[in-house]
């Protein structure tokens, strides 16, 4: 799939609850931007829950929380995600181009809120994550928790309760940064979600109509004046 003139913000983040389709769409977007001639790379800013979940099951525990405790797992996740984002941004500083990020710092704040961490824990995380600038665009893939749970169950390698998914969605909505997110309805098919993402990116690159009208007026003023003078001189020569 190719796109005519493809706008490419430097940093694109996809965030949202588990099962919202971040990994699917981030891979797809990086692939499609690359196919359209934009240097774009997929990067995962994981917090380690998946791997700690696997480790936990080796020890007969259900997940990372059961292995390390809720607060322990949150602390580990906050550190691992911080390192992952640092690595992503350092790689981008070296390679340039567009980076399509699967999760970002906002996911950590949402995770802390959804798991009822103390406000001090979020404050500490925010202090540490302040190092990282906000992405140029953050897509929030908004999905019904029930739809997300069905997808996670179908995926088959982990599970989430409906309560947690609903709390996580509410946590994203409660973030002070939420107003800066581009909310994408992620309940549809992968093609529909991808189309909504591309529509937003295309819209960003389109010239601001107000601006182009203003610039036409600014540029057009002297032109009209010059034509008026030329016209007047022309009629005088007749």
Ligand X SMILES: Nc1ncnc2c1ncn2[C@@H]1O[C@H](COP(=O)(O)OP(=O)(O)OP(=O)(O)O)[C@@H](O)[C@H]1O
Q: Which residues are annotated as a binding site for ATP?
A: 16-23
Q: Residues in contact with Mg ion, total (CB under 5 A)?
A: 1
Strand segments, DSSP code E, in the chain are: 11-15, 40-44, 98-102, 137-142, 182-185
Counting Cα atoms < 13 Å in the Cβ hemisphere of 112 gives 21
Please give the Cα distance from 157 to 154 (Å, whole number).
Answer: 9
Contacts of 139 (CB under 8 A, 6+ apart): 12, 13, 14, 15, 16, 25, 181, 182, 184, 197, 200
Q: x-or-dash pattern for ligand X, window 183-202, by CB under 6 A?
A: ------xx--x---------
Taking CB within 5 to 8 Å according to partner kind, which of Mg ion, ligand X, none is near residue 220?
Answer: none
**Among residues 7, 12, 13, 22, the one that binds ligand X under rule CB under 6 A:** 22
Within 155-184, the residues that bind ligand X by CB under 6 A are 155
210: number of Cβ within 10 Å: 8
Taking CB within 5 to 8 Å according to partner kind, which of Mg ion, ligand X, none is near residue 45?
Answer: none
Instruction: Give the number of residues written for the chain.
Output: 238
Residue pair 9/43 in contact by the 8 Å Cβ criterion: no
Residue 23 touching Mg ion (CB under 5 A):
yes
Taking CB within 5 to 8 Å according to partner kind, which of Mg ion, ligand X, none is near residue 189?
Answer: ligand X
**β-pair partners for 142:** 185
Taking CB within 5 to 8 Å according to partner kind, which of ligand X, Mg ion, none is near residue 155?
Answer: ligand X
Residue 151 touching ligand X (CB under 6 A):
yes
Residue 158 touching Mg ion (CB under 5 A):
no
Q: Which stretch binds Mg ion (CB under 5 A): 23-31, 66-74, 128-136, 168-176?
A: 23-31
Residue 183, φ and ψ in degrees, nearest 5: -85, 125
Place of tokens 């992620």: 186
Q: What is the DSSP letter of 167?
A: H
Task: Give the annotated binding-site residues.
Answer: 16-23
**Among residues 7, 8, 13, 19, the one that binds ligand X under rule CB under 6 A:** 19
Residue 23 CB, nearest approach to Mg ion (Å): 3
Taking CB within 5 to 8 Å according to partner kind, which of ligand X, Mg ion, none is near residue 7?
Answer: none
Residue 24 touching ligand X (CB under 6 A):
yes
Nearest to 128 by CA among 150, 112, 141, 148: 112
Contact footprint for Mg ion (CB under 5 A) = 23
Contact footprint for ligand X (CB under 6 A) = 16, 18-24, 151, 154-155, 189-190, 193
């Amino acid at each position: 799939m190719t796109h005519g003139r493809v706008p490419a913000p430097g940093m694109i983040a996809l965030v949202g609850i588990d099962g919202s389709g971040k990994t699917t769409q981030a891979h797809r977007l990086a692939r499609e931007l690359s196919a359209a001639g934009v240097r774009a790379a997929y990067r995962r800013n994981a917090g380690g829950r998946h791997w700690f979940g696997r480790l936990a099951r080796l020890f007969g525990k259900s997940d990372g929380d059961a292995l390390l405790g809720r607060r322990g797992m949150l602390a580990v996740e906050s550190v691992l995600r911080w390192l992952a984002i640092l690595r992503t941004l350092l790689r981008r500083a070296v390679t340039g181009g567009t980076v399509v990020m699967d999760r970002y710092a906002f996911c950590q704040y949402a995770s802390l809120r959804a798991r009822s961490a103390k406000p001090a824990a979020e404050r500490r995380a925010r202090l540490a994550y302040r190092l990282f600038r906000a992405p140029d665009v953050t897509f929030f893939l908004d999905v019904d928790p029930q739809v997300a749970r069905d997808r996670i169950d179908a995926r088959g390698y982990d599970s989430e309760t409906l309560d947690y998914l609903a709390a996580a969605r509410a946590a994203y909505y409660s973030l002070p940064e939420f107003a800066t997110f581009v909310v994408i309805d992620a309940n549809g098919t992968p093609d529909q979600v991808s189309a909504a993402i591309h529509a937003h990116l295309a819209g960003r690159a389109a010239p601001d109509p107000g601006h182009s009208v203003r610039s036409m007026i600014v540029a057009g003023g002297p032109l009209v004046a010059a034509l008026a003078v030329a016209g007047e001189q022309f009629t005088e020569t007749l």
